[in-house]
Amino acid sequence: MKKSVLSTAILSAIVLSGCGGSSDSGDESGSVQGRTITVIDGYLENAQVCVDRNENGVCDDGEVIGKTNSNGQFTIPVSDKDYPVIIRSIAGSTKDADRVGYLTKSYEMTADSSSNLVTPFTTLADANGISVEDLAKDLNLDSSVISGDYVSLKSDADKAEDAIKAHALARSLVQELPTEATNINGSEMKQTASDINGAIDEHYGNTGDINEIDNNDFVLADDGKFEVVAVINDLQSYLIKGNVDKDSPTSKWTLANFSKYWAAEEGVFDAWLTTDSLCVEEGGQIECMNYRINGDVLSIPSEDGKEENNAFIYTSTDLAFAVPDEGDLTLWTTNDLTTSMNFSQTDFENKTLFTVMDDSDTSASEPVYGEFRFGKFDENTQTGEVTLIEDGEEYPTTWSLPNGNLRIEFDQQAGDNPLVIRYATTNGEIMIVNDVDQHADVYAMMTQDEALALNIVAKWENASK
């Protein structure tokens, strides 16, 4: 992307849109008479807590009162304890105890004023105007499990099986929740919950292994069927992806860079891990080394005899971002980056996409963020309107899709050439792209989730300090 256009949007502070400010602790009110809530998918840390004082189902300005702690808890002060709550789980900022790293999509959950738990089940009950107990009957679930802390109930011998199934249903259901709770279609979401529950029962019947249920999500695919996807709950297992023998890996990662400097130095290369080794293949040469993992950080030997730390700031099933000590953003993916995908009108038409890239020409990265507002696509001219938003300034221009690429004209900006973007891969939330004409090994990302884009930049900046 042209440096002359996207060069001044380096973020120094993040202000999350939609609900105003928030405090950092759920226990600062000091009120022992307040209402302590627990937010569960797994337990959600750093989720925004909003009290719906006007009961309009929307988190309005001034209604955010804090964030959940590492146990997913927050104490609502006595003055607000009798209001319904809305919980905003924010991509790139909120952590789920079930998973490594941060959430990859934003969504809201709700609960009425009588509930001390906020879960996908309280949310689904609210959306249908029924109690959680009635929801349990409709879904043929144990009421005492889905109306309680189903995560802790997995350690109860009498409730463990039902609790594990409920937890799997909750994990899978949140992936279908919209960014704003007011957009939930209650009856459709209840049918989705019933379908997921059926997929869980079918899988359990086929395997007979309750651990298979506890370790997997049931993800609704485009064809209406459910894919069984392993839960990413620790970085080492995530990176190993089942490899046993370093000489015969069954899964490899492709590593690429957002930085022009480091892409020129390192290019695109493959890597794989086993329990004991990390191997890198460049130009047909393979080098294996020891490594260690501490939380979300992968450490490997460096040329100076020390260690290079790679902080993983985003993980999804087949795509991750890590920030090495040098401060650049590294893309890890199990997808093929060499075969182009084709963009379609529906990827952009009447949508706003947020772009994250590295705008530096040196080894010191410069994370930047841009906003593109796409308009309707004219079938006759095969073009549409698009506006780049940067530092409050608007740059209107046009977009088209030649040969499946995205072309954005910048001819009204003196000296600027059109930007032609290739579609490399996606995980459903993020599109990985690169410039067709320049820096072929340099990648960027686009997403419709503003909070996700903002938080990836924030984590990138924090990890590189």
Q: What is the pLDDT of residues 364-386, one digit of tens each?
A: 999 998 999 999 999 999 999 99
Averaged pLDDT, 110-139: 96
- Same domain for 106 and 149, yes or no, is yes
The tokens 């990662």 sit on which residue? 253
Does residue 214 sit in the same domain as residue 311?
A: no
In angstroms, the CA 109 to CA 103 distance is 14
- 251 and 198 both lie in a single domain: no
Based on the fold, state whether residues 223 and 243 are members of the same structural domain: no
Residue 440 pLDDT grade (very low, low, confident, very high; cuts 50, 70, 90): confident
Residue 222 lies in a domain: yes
Q: Are residues 223 and 282 in the same domain?
A: no
Residues 221, 240 share a domain: no
- Give the C-alpha separation, 442 to 261, whole Å: 9
C-alpha to C-alpha distance for 339 and 331, rounded to whole angstroms: 16
Cβ-Cβ contacts under 8 Å for 437 (sequence gap 6 or more) = 417, 420
Higher pLDDT, 415 or 25: 415
Is residue 134 located within the same domain as residue 274?
no
- Decide if 30 is inside a domain: no
135-139, 389-393, 411-415: which range is least confident on average? 411-415
Pairing of strands 319-324, 330-333: antiparallel
Domain edge (last residue) among 196, 230, 264: 230
Is 3 a member of any domain? no
Are residues 305 and 367 part of one domain?
A: no
Assess if residue 7 is contained within a domain. no
Together in a domain, 139 and 160:
yes
More confident residue, 189 or 317: 189
**Alpha-carbon distance 356 to 259, whole Å?**
12
Instruction: Verify that 192 and 272 share a domain, yes or no.
Output: no
DSSP-derived secondary structure letter, 357: E
Return the residue matching tokens 């032609």.
Answer: 420
Give the separation between CA 161 and CA 423, rounded to whole angstroms: 43
CA nearest to 123, candidates 81, 75, 164, 88: 88
356-379 exposure pattern, b = at least 16 Cβ within 10 A, e = fewer: bbbbbeeeebbbbbbbbbbbebee
Select the more confidently predicted residue: 413 or 40.
40
For residues 110 and 87, what is the distance between their CA atoms, to the nearest angstrom?
A: 6
Question: Strand 292-294's sheet: what is its strand order?
Answer: 285-289, 278-282, 269-273, 253-257, 330-333, 319-324, 307-315, 297-301, 292-294
Q: How many CB atoms lie within 10 A of CB 274?
A: 19
pLDDT over 90, % of the chain: 74
pLDDT category at 439 given cuts 50, 70, 90 is low
Total number of domains in the chain: 3
Q: In the numeric block, which tokens belong to residue 329?
A: 């953003």
Residue finishing a domain among 333, 353, 374: 333
The verdict on residue 214 lying in a domain is yes
Q: Tally the residues of the chain.
A: 465
141 domain residue, yes or no = yes
| Sole residue written with tokens 């459910």 | 226
Maximum distance among all Cα pairs of the chain, rounded to whole angstroms:
71
Contact 388, 5 (CB under 8 A): yes
Confidence of residue 392 (pLDDT cuts 50, 70, 90): confident
pLDDT at 17 over 50: no
* Position 37 pLDDT exceeds 70: yes
- Of the residues 179, 214, 230, which one is the last residue of a structural domain? 230
Q: Is pLDDT above 90 for 220?
A: no
Domain containing residue 174 = 35-230
Q: Give residue 419's pLDDT band: very low, low, confident or very high (50, 70, 90).
A: confident
Place 425 in a pLDDT band, splitting at 50, 70 and 90.
very high
As a whole number of angstroms, the distance between CA 410 and CA 400 comes to 12
Cα atoms in the Cβ-side hemisphere of radius 13 Å centred on 316: 20
What's residue 102's pLDDT? 87
CA distances from 183 to 107, 275, 362 (A): 10, 44, 44
Q: What mean pLDDT do residues 40-62 have?
A: 95
CA 453 to chain CA centroid, Å, is 9
Do the strands 35-39 and 117-118 form a parallel or antiparallel pair, or are they unpaired? parallel
Tens of pLDDT, residues 252-281: 999 999 999 999 999 999 999 999 999 999
- What is the residue type of 402? P
Say yes or no: 95 and 200 in one domain: yes
pLDDT the model gives residue 32 = 54
Lowest mean pLDDT among 12-26, 42-56, 173-187, 207-221: 12-26
Residues 6+ apart with CB under 8 A from 124: 135, 173, 186, 189, 190, 193
Q: Which of 17-31, 139-153, 227-241 has the highest mean pLDDT?
A: 139-153
For the cut 90, the answer to whether the pLDDT of residue 179 exceeds it is: yes
Can you say whether the dihedral through the CA atoms of 164, 165, 166, 172 is positive or negative?
A: positive
Q: Give me the numbers of helices (H) and strands (E) for the chain, helices first please.
A: 9, 28
Average pLDDT over residues 353-364: 93
In-domain check, residue 186 = yes
Q: How much is the pLDDT for 412?
A: 53
When the pLDDT of each residue in the chain is averaged and rounded to a whole number, the result is 89
Least confident of 114-118, 218-222, 316-320, 414-418: 414-418
Structure-token match 């003196």, residue found? 414
pLDDT bin (cut points 50, 70, 90) of residue 100 is confident
310 and 356 in a single domain? The answer is no
Distance, CA of 57 to chain centre: 24
Q: What is the per-residue pLDDT for 416? A: 66
Residue 301 belongs to domain with CATH number: 2.40.128
Residue 19 inside a domain? The answer is no
